[in-house]
Amino acid sequence: MPRDGGPARLRLQQAALELYERHGFDQVTTAEIAARAGVTERTFYRHFADKREVLFEGESGLRDRLTAGVAEAPSDLAPLPALLWAFRSTLPFIAGNRHLSEPLRRVIAANPQLRERQLTKTVILTEALAAALRERGTPAPTASLTARIGMAVYAHAAALWFADPDQDIDELLSAAAADLCELTTPLARADAR
């Protein structure tokens, strides 16, 4: 069994999720995670800074995919459609990692410390998306607002998908964006008066 590289990282993540779900985040040590994954504790620390980061390792990959998606979106798209285009480009990645995402959501929901870490990671992702939009020429205030709104739409669609995995996540994303447009249309009419 390989003791480092990608396979070890994945085994460590799976072991951590299993142990956290069974015993609770606070009761599990890095030594227990490493033992369950079949590696040394030293190998654990080669891959992850602490026992929280083993849960959030995929965030940097998602951030890279999303910011690349914003850059690759057709140049004629307005900021929010460009962001939605980027979100759609990650849907296969999200669907392919569902087996890890579902227990991860449960573990995070059960621990305030992890919820705080997730909020921090969401802020970092939102800022990265705003920067990617600015690189496309979107003014800074609009880029910031668009990134926040886009993340809310994305999170809403993902929550619905996790609640009912038989639904198509792409359709949920489209429906969430359509709901946003419907909600903001009365505001535009009111401003025109």
For the chain, which domains are there? Answer: 5-50 (1.10.10.60), 57-192 (1.10.357.10)
Q: How far, in Å, CA of 118 to CA of 99, rounded? A: 18
Yes or no: say if 35 and 76 are a contact pair by the CB < 8 Å rule: no
Q: Per mean pLDDT, which of 57-61, 95-99, 124-128 is the most reliable?
A: 124-128
Query: What confidence tier does 188 reach under pLDDT thresholds 50, 70, 90?
Result: low
In the chain, helix, strand, coil percent, each to 5? 80, 0, 20
pLDDT, residue 91, reads: 87
Q: What is the mean pLDDT of residues 29-56?
A: 94
**For the residues 7-21, what does the mean pLDDT come to?**
92
Whether pLDDT at 138 is above 50: yes
Averaged pLDDT for residues 145-164: 93
Q: Tell me how far apart the alpha carbons of residues 180 and 30 are, in angstroms, rounded to a whole number.
A: 43
Q: How confident is the model at residue 191 (pLDDT cuts 50, 70, 90)?
A: low
- Which residues touch 138 (CB under 8 Å, ≥6 apart)? 79, 146
Total-model pTM? 0.84
